[in-house]
Amino acid sequence: MNSIAEIQDEIVSEFEILGDDKESTIYYIMELGSAMESFPEAARIEENIIKGCQSKVWLIAEEQDGKVHYMADSNTDITKGLISLLLRVLNDRTPEEILDAKLNFVDRIGMGSIIGSQRSNGFAAMIKQIKLFALAIQSNQNV
């Protein structure tokens, strides 16, 4: 498995190919979301919704062999694509790796100009919830 930094570099390279074409970039983000693993219908409950997102975003996490495995979904294609980028970087990592991760790909691809301020706030909420799950799993490992 590639390192967090290597995966972020891959994402940046993919977005560089799209250049400044905002329409193609948004379409690409939506395509990424459509490739995510299916989300369990039973997990589409209020307590799994990330607070602070304009769209509905469901996120669950479980420990698998000392690593955190996330599953997510959204009711909008663009938001599903955004969470898929985060999971691509952070999924199936140790809690320590997730908590220490510096997510520089967001600024490097100019995410703020692509998605606007409302979605940027939601994106920050997604990152926060991903890290909170990692922290909770780390705490359980240390018991």
Q: What pLDDT digit, counting tens, does each position of 36-65 carry?
A: 989 999 999 999 999 988 899 999 999 999
Given a cut of 70, whether residue 143 has pLDDT beyond it is: no
Residues whose CB is less than 8 angstroms from the CB of residue 114 and which lie 6 or more positions away in sequence, other chains included:
22, 25, 26, 29
What range defines the domain where residue 95 resides? 4-141
| Residue 19: predicted pLDDT | 86
Q: Is the pLDDT reported for residue 30 higher than 80?
A: yes
Number of domains the chain is built from? 1
Residues 6+ apart with CB under 8 A from 6: none
Average confidence (pLDDT) over 72-96? 96
Residues near 66 by Cβ (< 8 Å), separated by ≥ 6? 94, 141
Between the alpha carbon of residue 46 and those of residues 51, 57, 59, 89, 137, the distances in Å are 10, 10, 11, 25, 21
User: Alpha-carbon distance 131 to 107, whole Å?
Assistant: 18
Q: Is 133 left (phi over 0), alpha (psi -120 to 50) or beta?
A: alpha
> Which CATH number fits the domain that encloses residue 93?
3.90.1010.10
In contact, 101 and 90? CB cutoff 8 Å: yes
pLDDT tens string 105-138: 988 988 877 777 667 788 899 999 999 999 999 9
pTM of the model: 0.93
